[in-house]
Amino acid sequence: EAQVTQNPRYLITVTGKKLTVTCSQNMNHEYMSWYRQDPGLGLRQIYYSMNVEVTDKGDVPEGYKVSRKEKRNFPLILESPSPNQTSLYFCASSLWSGQAQETQYFGPGTRLLVL
């Protein structure tokens, strides 16, 4: 089954404690990205990757890191989480047409609470 998986689904942590949210897709998609969703602000892109070893900042990259060592995986790293990073996070993947993203496939989401 074609899917994007994220782990963990729920996470409560404390300020400053490094964490990683994993993302994996099985569709051989070139393009992967991370979004955060906050009430009243909608979905905003954090980082994206157009292929292995190619990553770039989205609209709200501060406080986050990513890596793309393998095509299927795109982990999101919070080196020193702060309460303003409390949010619902989504990983997504898609084909890249050469001009724009095609249909995005979203993971189930990771709900993060930073105390």
Partner 1 sequence: SQQGEEDPQALSIQEGENATMNCSYKTSINNLQWYRQNSGRGLVHLILIRSNEREKHSGRLRVTLDTSKKSSSLLITASRAADTASYFCATPPGGGADGLTFGKGTHLIIQP
Contacts of 103 (CB under 8 A, 6+ apart): 94, 95
Q: Does 96 bind partner 1 (CB under 8 A)?
A: yes
x/- binding map, residues 12-41, to partner 1, per CB under 8 A? -------------------x-x-x----xx
At its nearest, how many Å lie between partner 1 and the CB of residue 92? Answer: 8
Q: Does 59 bind partner 1 (CB under 8 A)?
A: yes
Pick the closer one to partner 1 by CB: 15 or 98. Answer: 98
Q: What is the DSSP string of 14-63?
A: -TT--EEEEEEESS--SEEEEEEEETTTEEEEEEEEEETTEEEE-S--TT
Given candidates 28, 82, 108, 115, which one binds partner 1 under the rule CB under 8 A? 108
